[in-house]
Amino acid sequence: MGLLAPEFEPPAGIHPLTSIAASATIGENASIAAFVSIEDDVTIGRDVVIGPHASIGRGATVGDGCRLHARVSIRQRSVLGRRVIVQDGVVIGGDGYGFAKREDGTYEKIPQRGIVVIEDDVEIGANSTVDRPAVGETRILAGAKIDNLVQVAHGVRVGRNTLLCAQVGIAGGEGGGQGLGVKRET
């Protein structure tokens, strides 16, 4: 298929309608589309392609050769390795689902301050989410392929070269993801 329909490669450069913090570092040959927001202390590697309306949060790292499609959100301090492909609408590093029950029956949000690490050669399908934990990390190991509409919850570890098909949901907490090449981070 690569011969019959080669992929469109946008030219290197930064669109003038992009917002990039002065403290961000952008690697050589990056292609950054219109309406992208890149916050303070972000590192973007070489040959990275970022589609329109993407958002890269403070302190995040995007490794060499990554391709982030439209409307991707990489939240603060998330780390993407090399050659990671993130399809449209993905959220990496959103808050995990953590609440503590109060004595009066209401719930208090538990701050989610951990990180998400996506290792090399991972692909994440459209509208999937990978949540950050309260402490520690959520990690997707090298070579994993995640289909559209998949939820990877806080504190989960997805194994090397694991395949997760559409609409899979892996819950955080005790035992989350056991038996699917996935293990809960302890």
154 is catalytic: yes
Please write down the HEC assignment for all residues of the chain: CCCCCCCCCCCCEECCCCEECCCCEECCCCEECCCCEECCCCEECCCCEECCCCEECCCCEECCCCEECCCCEECCCCEECCCCEECCCCEEEEECCCEEECCCCCEEECCCCCEEEECCCCEECCCCEEEECCCCEEEECCCCEECCCCEECCCEEECCCCEECCCCEECCCCCCCCCCCEEECC
- Catalytic one of 15, 53, 69, 154: 154
Largest CA distance in the chain: 64
Backbone angles phi, psi at 144, to 5 degrees: -65, 145
Catalytic residues: 154
